[in-house]
Amino acid sequence: MRGFTSPLWPIRYKPFPDELLSCWLVRLAHGHGLKVQTFCNLMFGNRRQVWNRDIDRLAPVWLVDELILRTGTSPETAWGTTLCSYEGILYPKFRLSSTLRWILALKVYHRTRQGYGLQFCPACLAEDEIPYFRKRWRIALNTVCGKHGTMLFDRCPHCGAAVAFHRLDMVGMEAIDVAPLSYCHSCQFDLRSASPEKPIVYDAATSLLLLDASHQFRHDRTPESEWDLGRFAVMHQLCRIMTTRVSARSSQVDRF
C-alpha cells in the first residue's frame, strides 16, 4: 500500500461508537486482507512495536496520528478510542505508569494478556452487524450492560481465556478467512452465544446505583445524567474500604 499518491488507505473504516483503538486497528488490518502483525509491520515499520503494550491505554502518538492521516478520521474521534479520553471523568490526570482509577489491567506479557481487563456483553456483540468491542468494557465499575441488564463477561465462558481478538489470525489461517472478532482466539467459541447472566440483587437501591453507573459510559448518555469526577472518586474510595482487610480498614476510614 506504500506508493499510493493519496495518503489515504484503500480501506479507511471509521471507529464505531465507543469502539476501542485496538479493535479499530484490527478491523483495519483485516479489512485490507492482512494479518494484524503483517499490517502493522507494513504500515508502521518493523522497528515500531504495537502489541507489546496495552495500546488502548498507552497509545503512541505516532500510531494515532498515522490512523488519523490514513483514514481521514478527526483527531477528536481517533483519540476518543483511547482510555486517556476518560481523563477528568474517571480519574483526574492520565498517567502512563502505575494503575489508573477504574481502568482494568490487561497485564500484557510477551504480547499475551495475563489479566482479564476487557469485558464484553454477548447480547451487544450479537446485535452488532459487525461485532466490535467497546471502550466502556475496560471499566471496572461497569459490570452490568446498561442496555440489556445482564452481567458482563471478562473471559471466554468455554475455555476461560482472556479476550484477545488481535490474536485471532495467529492460528495459521489467512487473514481474509479470519473469524469475526466475537470469536475466542483460544478455542474459537463464539462469544455471542454465551448464556446471559442476570446480576444478583442484594439491595435494590445499590443495584439501581450500579446500573446508573453503567449508563455513564454509554456514548449516547445525556449531559444532565452525567456523574462528576468527585462522585466517581467517592465510589472508588468506598470500594477500596470494602475490599480492604479488616485490620487495615480503620486507617482507610479515617482518611476517607
**Among 6-20, 21-35, 236-250, which is the least confidently predicted range?**
236-250
User: Which amino acid makes up residue 162?
Assistant: A
**Among 3-12, 49-58, 146-155, 240-249, which is the least confidently predicted range?**
240-249
Mean confidence (pLDDT) of the chain: 87
What's the confidence (pLDDT) of residue 19?
98
What's the confidence (pLDDT) of residue 241?
82
The set of cell numbers assigned to 87 is: 481523563
Q: Give the Cα separation of 26 and 130 in Å (integer).
A: 13
pLDDT digits (tens, 9 = 90+) for 35-59: 999 999 999 999 999 999 999 999 9
Model confidence at 206: pLDDT above 80: no
Residue pair 26/51 in contact by the 8 Å Cβ criterion: no
Model confidence at 4: pLDDT above 60: no
**Residues in a beta bridge with 251:** none
The set of cell numbers assigned to 207 is: 443495584
* Helix 246-255 × helix 229-242 angle, to 10°: 150
pLDDT digits (tens, 9 = 90+) for 152-203: 999 999 999 999 999 999 876 555 678 899 999 999 999 999 999 998 877 7
Average pLDDT over residues 117-126: 98
Reported pTM: 0.86
- Sequence-distant (6+) residues with CB within 8 A of 57 are 82, 83, 84, 100, 103
Average pLDDT over residues 110-139: 94
What's the confidence (pLDDT) of residue 45?
93
pLDDT band at 82 (very low <50, low <70, confident <90, very high): very high
Model confidence at 213: pLDDT above 90: no
